[in-house]
Amino acid sequence: MLTVVGLALGVIGAVLFVVPQRSAGASESDADVEIVAQATKFAESFATYDSADPEGFQKRVLPLMTKEYGKRTETETSQLFPALADKNLKSADAKVKAVAVESSDSDSAKVLVVIDATATNSDVAQPTLMQMRWIVSMQKEGGQWLADAYQMVEAGVADAAGGQVPAPSATTPSSGAGQ
């Protein structure tokens, strides 16, 4: 019985996260609309890659990043992608399923992003659906909202007492570069 209650609470929690509720008359600020748009563009661009084409990846994502984050990402992908090219790693069809501004001020924001993408590689014949949850840190630089880092978030389910129970496969936080 507790398992059923825990599962029900988990589903309710997921619905509340994925389908944010707003009180009557509440609306997003213009800044939040811009933050959501930029975080969505970043997430879909970053989650789409081909290990044989680091330059194409960089051309897409670097303009969506702060200068410092872009420099780190450029260095890391220039080293990582060629090392993985023989695996033919590719991700496509990246689509943000839900996005919400967790917090923001005049020049920074934290954005929760739920994104799905299809991944392939030379070791697995069938494409794999990746269902990712990220916290994207955004900074306002040069008057534009840009990604400054992201962290993968582990999915979890609620237990009967309403606490969070980690999902079976743990995901470690990322400094932002890589999948």
Can you tell me the distance from the alpha carbon of 61 to that of 16, in angstroms, rounded to the nearest whole number? 30
The residue range of the domain holding 107 is: 2-7+29-166
Whichever domain contains 85, its CATH number is 3.10.450.230
| The 144-152 sheet, strands edge to edge | 49-50, 90-104, 108-121, 124-141, 144-152
Say what the pLDDT of residue 125 is.
78
Highest-scoring range by mean pLDDT, 18-22, 112-116, 170-174: 112-116
Q: How confident is the model at residue 161 (pLDDT cuts 50, 70, 90)?
A: low
- Strand locations in the chain (E): 49-50, 90-104, 108-121, 124-141, 144-152, 156-158, 164-166
Confirm whether 24 is domain-assigned: no
Residue 3 scores a pLDDT above 60: no
Residue 91 scores a pLDDT above 60: yes
Say what the pLDDT of residue 168 is.
44
Confirm whether 21 is domain-assigned: no
Confirm whether 12 is domain-assigned: no
Query: 9-23, 59-73, 163-177: which has the minimum mean pLDDT?
Result: 9-23
Say what the pLDDT of residue 46 is.
97
Say what the pLDDT of residue 85 is.
85
Say what the pLDDT of residue 2 is.
36
Confirm whether 121 is domain-assigned: yes
What are the tens digits of pLDDT across the range 18-68? 434 333 333 568 889 999 999 999 999 999 999 999 999 999 999 999 999
Q: How confident is the model at residue 157 (pLDDT cuts 50, 70, 90)?
A: low
Confirm whether 13 is domain-assigned: no
Residue 154 scores a pLDDT above 80: yes
Do 122 and 87 form a contact (C-beta atoms < 8 A)?
yes
Do 111 and 102 form a contact (C-beta atoms < 8 A)?
yes
How many domains is the chain partitioned into structurally? Answer: 1
Do 94 and 117 form a contact (C-beta atoms < 8 A)?
yes
What is the CB neighbour count within 10 angstroms for residue 172? 7
> What's the chain's average pLDDT?
79
Confirm whether 179 is domain-assigned: no
Burial of 107 (0-12, 13-18, 19+ CB in 10 A): exposed
